[in-house]
């Protein structure tokens, strides 16, 4: 592995599937060396790494629970050992359990908060201490913080917390030349989103924005690439990547 400091390095949590994998592939195509983080699916992460390296890119897989400080410290250590430092951290790891607030199992609430809030906080805390100047921290929320669909209450609450962390951390990193932003996707055609939905429902959701389609993971990855690269004057913001959905 090269430790050439001219190569920008990204660590992507949840990088083995859905939006995370699209982000990994886009950043690798943009010339980043990428640490592909996974929680449970090592085989999928390894396959992503293999595809990148066979295409001439640089990538490694790093595992662990994002809410576990020791595991994530080890992931940061591995990325730094392989590539010489870290410039960009993208927090796509998250879980979503949908239920009316009145009937949500509190164990599911705790599970979402552990991954979505504590996990984001742990990774942001490490990134705040370890990113090189010129770096970027990119967190993930959801457009449902605006659309307020029923059954998303606990999930939206966890993502509102992520937005709060983002906005404060951006101000706390004054003088470090590190931007901190959040991407808030709308409905995006990932396997997780499409699972269990009828074509009629998918078409209905797709019609909710002026573009008349669902987002593709690549659409979200393009927004991340903008924040990870040229967008140095965008800081402390929530970018809604949803095709114009309210």
| CA distance linking residue 230 with residue 107, whole number of Å | 41
Q: Which of 38, 113, 152, 155 is catalytic?
A: 155
What pLDDT is attached to residue 5? 55
10 and 89 in contact (C-beta within 8 Å)? yes
Query: Which residues have C-beta within 8 Å of that of residue 133, sequence separation ≥ 6?
Result: 176, 177, 178
Average pLDDT, the chain: 95
Query: Which residues have C-beta within 8 Å of that of residue 236, sequence separation ≥ 6?
Result: 166, 167, 170, 171, 179, 180, 181
Q: What is the mean pLDDT of residues 226-243?
A: 97
Query: Which residue's structure tokens are 């990119």?
Result: 138
Alpha carbon distances (Å) from 69 to 17, 64, 122, 158, 182: 22, 9, 6, 19, 21
What pLDDT is attached to residue 17? 84
What pLDDT is attached to residue 199? 94
CATH topology classification for 9-241: Rossmann fold (3.40.50)
Global pTM value: 0.95
Four-CA torsion 45, 48, 50, 51, nearest 10 degrees: 170
114 and 67 in contact (C-beta within 8 Å)? yes
pLDDT for residue 3 is more than 80? no
Report the alpha-carbon angle 147-205-109, nearest 5. Answer: 55
Weakest-pLDDT range from 5-9, 76-80, 97-101, 185-189: 5-9
Judge whether 155 counts as a catalytic residue: yes
What pLDDT is attached to residue 194? 86
Domain ranges of the chain: 9-241
| CA distance linking residue 120 with residue 140, whole number of Å | 9
Q: What is the pLDDT of residues 116-140, one digit of tens each?
A: 999 999 999 999 999 999 999 999 9
What pLDDT is attached to residue 1? 43
28 and 57 in contact (C-beta within 8 Å)? yes
Band (30; pLDDT cuts 50, 70, 90): very high
| CA distance linking residue 20 with residue 5, whole number of Å | 24
Task: Give the closest residue to 85 by CA, choosing from 39, 125, 132, 122.
Answer: 132
């Amino acid at each position: 592995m090269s430790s050439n400091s001219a190569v920008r390095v990204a660590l992507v949590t949840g990088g083995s599937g859905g939006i995370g994998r699209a982000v990994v592939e886009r950043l690798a195509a943009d010339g980043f060396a990428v640490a592909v983080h996974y929680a449970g699916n090592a085989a999928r992460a390894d396959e992503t790494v293999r595809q990148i390296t066979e295409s001439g890119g640089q990538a490694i897989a790093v595992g662990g629970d994002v809410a576990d400080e020791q595991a994530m410290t080890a992931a940061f250590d591995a990325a730094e050992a392989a590539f010489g430092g870290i410039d960009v951290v993208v927090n796509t790891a998250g879980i979503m359990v949908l239920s009316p607030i009145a009937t949500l199992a509190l164990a599911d609430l705790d599970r979402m908060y552990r991954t979505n809030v504590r996990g984001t906080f742990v990774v942001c805390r490490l990134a705040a201490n370890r990113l090189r100047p010129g770096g970027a921290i990119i967190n993930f929320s959801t457009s449902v913080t605006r659309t307020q669909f029923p059954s998303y209450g606990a999930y939206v609450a966890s993502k509102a917390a992520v937005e709060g962390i983002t906005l404060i951390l951006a101000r706390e990193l004054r003088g470090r030349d590190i931007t901190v932003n959040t991407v808030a996707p709308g409905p995006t055609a990932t396997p997780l989103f499409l699972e269990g939905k009828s074509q009629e429902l998918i078409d209905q959701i797709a019609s909710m924005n002026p573009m008349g389609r669902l987002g593709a993971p690549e659409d979200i990855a393009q927004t991340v690439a903008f924040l990870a690269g040229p967008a140095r004057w965008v800081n402390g913001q929530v970018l809604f990547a949803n095709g114009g959905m309210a």
